[in-house]
Chain A
């Protein structure tokens, strides 16, 4: 090799980890009544990062009570302009501490520093800035002259974009005058706990934001707690269903952002090099741990033979390894459990005689790793075309006509995202009109912006986050 990139690791010294982290309730860190702790690992090398308290039902009571108190006495009475000031302050602190947060997120989640630095953190700050701007303009949001907050919001977020999902949940809730109790994912609690410190640094009134760490039991206790007015969840469709069942018959408002099996449709007249890029980032961005990932490639049969070698050549150039290396494109799978799921589902492809391809790529010995994988000869009937793998696995299907592309793209219980690649504007519009997905990307993929609403059709959930639409979920 003429030109081998030398290791370029981002320094960990910007992060000062504590040995143990307690719950953040009523503006203070406080031990869990359970006395239990769980360990969070670096998935890239399985090293322990910290001990994190497991919130018991009594802790959920305490947090909800603190949030209620803060709502009644401070936050709901504060003017929008004043609330906005707090959010602007939080946004600025996030920007100031973005390097530390990006490194910590990479360590706890396993995703490449390139992504946390260039995607996650800028979007997190942008989300707070965006909703800070709405705080004093809610009467102009098209929701009546004086829209009112709901009260206390219970929010449960996933591990794939830990801090970004926190921002998606907390920023609109606070801007609209609600208070929150948020539970980060079991495997990625650390950036949420640093966010709690940021709330302190910003002098946010105690109880407006409460962070409860823990596993599934904690999440269940939180979403079922009778003292909340709103449940917001991002995660698997299976858990989403349980939540919908749990809150049925109550007066709680619910938004669910669940799984997906997004189709990336490549027509024969697409800009091929850019379509290849879009397909690659569509499925391999964040190791495919993306609910709106383009996990199904639908490529027009007439160019499939040309497109696939180009795609594979490009995938061969992806650099897998140390998430903190600035040149890493593909990081680690977030947890042993997720790795097992990805392996298991991908193995069904072998049983179903689907052709499986991965580039020659050395996986590190320690940690949770899965090579980028392309499955060809996939039909709609195969499990890998129907079920969400949530890993770096692309299922390739072909189509012959635009009608067939749309039928196949829609033939899924999900409806979160889709991508369309064509240089022909009329075909783009024709296709987009017929796709049943909450987000449709035109000649691009996985582009996010706080001004744009995001959410699903069908089993991908309901409610919208982001943009003006995102305010509706937190206003009565």
Chain B
């Protein structure tokens, strides 16, 4: 059932208009949001549902390495794993994408050629975003030129927190333009926005500015993708769809390490935005160690035993 929206985005974009729009959104009651997320975390997903959820989750993983110590060798090894997560079992689906720093995009694109897996690149002076706009745009253009099909940008949290919504908006619009055909994921870094009201406002701001995905965190700041934050972002995309007819994706990233965490995220999606969002086109999980746990649980479910962590590749 379509859900009407409380506040409608203003036509002209001024800071005043954006503020009126964002502050006109319904508030979020923190206690209630936590309680709802906790309630959904008690769903019991077993047997066939669990098998389906694990495969779905694998196909939604943005397999990530964002370390200063990354090397072409490490990225190539990650790409091999992305294409064939479990060499012993070819029925395992490939992951959603590989996520790397801009200077590793070319390596990853080369390694993934022919697999159908896209390369996502963080850009815009990730993770802090503290660089002049021109630098951020150059960062983005280079990643796209090297073959990235998805760009994960960070918003200017300082501007957001100081109430300069227009600056945040304009940056997203500019980066979106620099992306060209590439999909844009907008990282809100919710751990720095702190309040759930801010999470909701930043979500709507990013969607309105043209983001294709809204993403919780860089993974460099704690807390990262907590269930209530993901819940609020899923409510935001649900409301945005009801108001505009446009479906925006959601990507929790950071801190999702176990199959249980991943399945809980799928339950959040299923019961908040709805089953339409249960596709890698509209939901991704940014993670690195999660994939091995998913594989291990998958084997456990089909064979009844844990093969042990040594049977899965570390990087």
Measured between beta carbons, the chain B residues less than 8 angstroms from A309 are 1-4
Measured between beta carbons, the chain A residues less than 8 angstroms from B279 are 2
A-side interface residues, number (CB < 8 Å): 32
Measured between beta carbons, the chain A residues less than 8 angstroms from B266 are 3
Measured between beta carbons, the chain A residues less than 8 angstroms from B2 are 309
| With known contacts A272-B26, A317-B271, A443-B29, A6–B6 Cβ distance under 8 A | no
Within the complex, the shortest CB–CB distance from B56 to chain A, in Å, comes to 7
Measured between beta carbons, the chain B residues less than 8 angstroms from A326 are 42-44
Within the complex, the shortest CB–CB distance from B261 to chain A, in Å, comes to 16
In the complex, the answer to whether B4 meets A305 with C-beta atoms within 8 Å is yes
Distance in angstroms between the alpha carbons of A309 and B242 in the assembled complex = 11
**Using a CB-CB cutoff of 8 Å, which residues 410-432 of chain A contact chain B?**
423
Q: Which of A313, A317, A423 is close to B27, meaning CB atoms less than 8 Å apart? A: A423
Within the complex, the shortest CB–CB distance from A154 to chain B, in Å, comes to 38
Q: Which of A3, A114, A306, A317 is close to B6, meaning CB atoms less than 8 Å apart? A: A306
Within the complex, the shortest CB–CB distance from B264 to chain A, in Å, comes to 13
CB-CB contacts of A4-37 with B at 8 A, as 1s and 0s?
1110100000000000000000000000000000
B-side interface residues, number (CB < 8 Å): 34
Within the complex, the shortest CB–CB distance from A451 to chain B, in Å, comes to 18
CB-CB contacts of A270-284 with B at 8 A, as 1s and 0s?
111111011000000
CB-CB contacts of B233-270 with A at 8 A, as 1s and 0s?
00100000000000000000000000000000010001
Q: Which of A114, A271, A306 is close to B4, meaning CB atoms less than 8 Å apart? A: A306
In the complex, the answer to whether B32 meets A444 with C-beta atoms within 8 Å is yes
Within the complex, the shortest CB–CB distance from A145 to chain B, in Å, comes to 40
Distance in angstroms between the alpha carbons of A2 and B47 in the assembled complex = 15
CB-CB contacts of A431-447 with B at 8 A, as 1s and 0s?
00000000000011000
In the complex, the answer to whether B32 meets A278 with C-beta atoms within 8 Å is yes
**Using a CB-CB cutoff of 8 Å, which residues 224-281 of chain A contact chain B?**
269-275, 277-278
Measured between beta carbons, the chain B residues less than 8 angstroms from A278 are 32
In the complex, the answer to whether A3 meets B49 with C-beta atoms within 8 Å is yes
Measured between beta carbons, the chain B residues less than 8 angstroms from A303 are 6
**Using a CB-CB cutoff of 8 Å, which residues 13-64 of chain B contact chain A?**
26-29, 31-33, 35-36, 42-50, 52-53, 56
Closest to A310 in B: B3
In the complex, the answer to whether B6 meets A277 with C-beta atoms within 8 Å is no
Q: Does B278 contact A (CB under 8 A)?
A: yes
In the complex, the answer to whether B50 meets A6 with C-beta atoms within 8 Å is yes
Measured between beta carbons, the chain A residues less than 8 angstroms from B46 are 6, 8
Q: Does B180 contact A (CB under 8 A)?
A: no
In the complex, the answer to whether A3 meets B32 with C-beta atoms within 8 Å is no
Measured between beta carbons, the chain B residues less than 8 angstroms from A6 are 45-50
Q: Does A118 contact B (CB under 8 A)?
A: yes
Q: Does B73 contact A (CB under 8 A)?
A: no
Q: Does B87 contact A (CB under 8 A)?
A: no
Within the complex, the shortest CB–CB distance from B4 to chain A, in Å, comes to 5
In the complex, the answer to whether A312 meets B1 with C-beta atoms within 8 Å is yes
Q: Does B309 contact A (CB under 8 A)?
A: no
Closest to B238 in A: A313
**Given A272-B6, A317-B271: 9 more A-B contacts, CB < 8 Å:** A3-B270, A6-B45, A6-B46, A8-B44, A274-B29, A303-B6, A305-B4, A443-B29, A444-B32
Residues of B that sit less than 8 Å from A by CB: 1-6, 26-29, 31-33, 35-36, 42-50, 52-53, 56, 235, 266, 270-271, 275, 278-279
Could you jot down 22 A-B contacts, CB within 8 Å? A2-B275, A3-B49, A3-B52, A3-B56, A3-B266, A3-B275, A118-B42, A270-B26, A271-B26, A271-B29, A273-B28, A274-B33, A277-B32, A277-B35, A277-B36, A306-B3, A306-B6, A309-B3, A309-B4, A423-B27, A443-B29, A444-B35
